[in-house]
Structures are given as structure tokens and as C-alpha cells.
Amino acid sequence: MRIFLDTANIDQIKQAVKLGVISGVTTNPSLVSKEGVADYAATIKEICSIVPGPISVEVLVEGVKPMIEQARQISTWAPNIVVKIPATAEGLEVTSVLAKEGIKVNFTLCFSLNQALLGARAGATYVSPFVGRLDDIGHDGMQVVKDIVGVFQKYPEIHTEVIAASVRHPEHCVAAAKAGAHIATVPNNVLVQMIQHPLTDIGVSRFLADWKRVSRK
């Protein structure tokens, strides 16, 4: 499973790139607005220049024609742009047009296997089931990821990759990897937690203390 960072924060992205573990970034309007970004295009272009992998960028209009036009425009910002299109009937139509033009689509706000299957059939490069938001309403979000992965595997002509999104804690990453998700897109706090283990910290301290005792002799 590959790891994307789910943020529009430039400092977090630069730091995660230094760790050498992220191969893409996903953004959404909420994440971008949280950063108080004045120039949407400039911020996205900067992210695209920092990370040499797919950068998902949400289309911010409604209606088939406006979405297609905006997606075409956004796709010119950088070669690694992926446009995020919502999992609606209009979104399907938009996805099928864009896919035929070679524009990569992340079919987002997916909450069911049916939505993901239709997104894949329309030509989406990625589908993004939102695990945490399903958990929030008492559903089993990870089960949807498992179902999508399982069904896509049964049909070898489907090359759409599954991004486990709306990841809230490290256990979501464990479960997504076990489910066979191609990618988990994780907020920075989850990425930080993924590497932490108290036994590692205790082990490092003990090794250094033991070494100091020996080296003093």
C-alpha cells in the first residue's frame, strides 16, 4: 500500500517528503481553506512541484459543463494533477469525458461499492472511499474498502486504484493495508503516529544508556 498525504499544508508536505514515504498528496476545499490560501492555483502548483507524484485537486463548481471546463483548466496547472470529481450522476458523466481526454480522475466522496464500481467503469484512475465519515454515522467504513478491493480484483480489466480516504488513526492504515487498498491518504498527525511505538523509544534509550556505561570503562 502506498501512502499519500491528505493536506494542503506546505510545511507538512515538505517534511513528509523528507521522510521519503509519501508518493502523492490529496487536497480538498476544506483542507485548502484551513490553510487560508489566497491563490488556489499557486498553492496547488507549489505542491505539485514539491511532490513528484499524483496531486488530487477538487473541482469547485457544480454542473456537468462547468465541472468539465474547470477540470480541464486545473489539469493544465501541472503534469501530475489528478482532478477530484464527486461520486454523483453528474460526476460520472464528467469522469467519462475527462478519462477519454486522458485527464486523471479521483472519484471522491465514495461511500458505497456501487459508487466505486460506476466510477471505475467511467474511467476513474482512483476511487476514494471515505472510511472515517462512514464510521462516524455508525457504518463499517473499512468494510466498503474491502468490498471495493475484492470486487475490483475479480475483474482484471479494472485498473482503477482504491484510495482509503478520511483516515482518522493509524489502525485505519493497518486495516486498509490488510484489505489490499492500493493507497491510504493520511493526515499529517496520522503519519506522525504511524512511526511511533513506545517500545522503540524505550529500546533506543536503553541501548544508549547501556552503551554509555560500556564506553566509560
Give min distance, CB of 132 to ligand G3P, in A.
5
Cα(217)–Cα(203) distance, rounded to whole angstroms? Answer: 22
The cell numbers describing 88, all together, are: 454523483
Stretch 102-131: interaction string toward ligand G3P, x if CB under 6 A: ----------------------------x-
Q: Is the dihedral of CA 103, 61, 182, 192 positive or negative?
A: positive
CB of 166 to ligand G3P, least distance (A): 3
Phi, psi of 188 (to 5 degrees): -60, -40
26, 75, 95, 106: which one contacts ligand G3P (CB under 6 A)?
A: 26
Per CB under 6 A, contacts with ligand G3P among 144-173 are: 165-166
Nearest distance, CB of residue 72 and ligand G3P, angstroms: 23
Residue (5 or 97) nearer to ligand G3P, CB:
5
Residue number with CB closer to ligand G3P (47 or 97): 47
Residue 12 within binding range of ligand G3P, rule CB under 6 A: no
- Complex with ligand G3P: residue 75 or 185, whichever CB lies closer: 185
Report the residue from 66, 132, 170, 180 that binds ligand G3P according to the rule CB under 6 A: 132
Q: Cβ closer to ligand G3P: 68 or 165? A: 165
Q: Say how far apart CA 103 and CA 134 lie, in whole Å.
A: 28
- The dihedral region occupied by 109, where left means phi > 0, alpha psi between -120 and 50, and beta the remainder, is left
**Residue 185 binding ligand G3P, by CB under 6 A:** yes
Centroid of chain to Cα 37? 20
Residue 175 is classified by DSSP as H
User: Which residue bears the cell 511532490?
Assistant: 51
CA dihedral (192, 21, 82, 173) positive or negative: negative
> Per DSSP, what are the bridge partners of residue 56?
26, 82
Nearer to ligand G3P, 160 or 166 (CB): 166
Catalytic residues, which ones? 84
Closest among 16, 9, 61 to 34, alpha carbons compared: 9
Give least dist CB 211 to ligand G3P, A. 42
Q: Is 95 in the site for ligand G3P (CB under 6 A)?
A: no
Could you tell me which residues are beta bridge partners of residue 105?
Answer: 83
Binding site residues, ligand G3P, CB under 6 A:
6, 26, 28, 130, 132-133, 165-166, 185
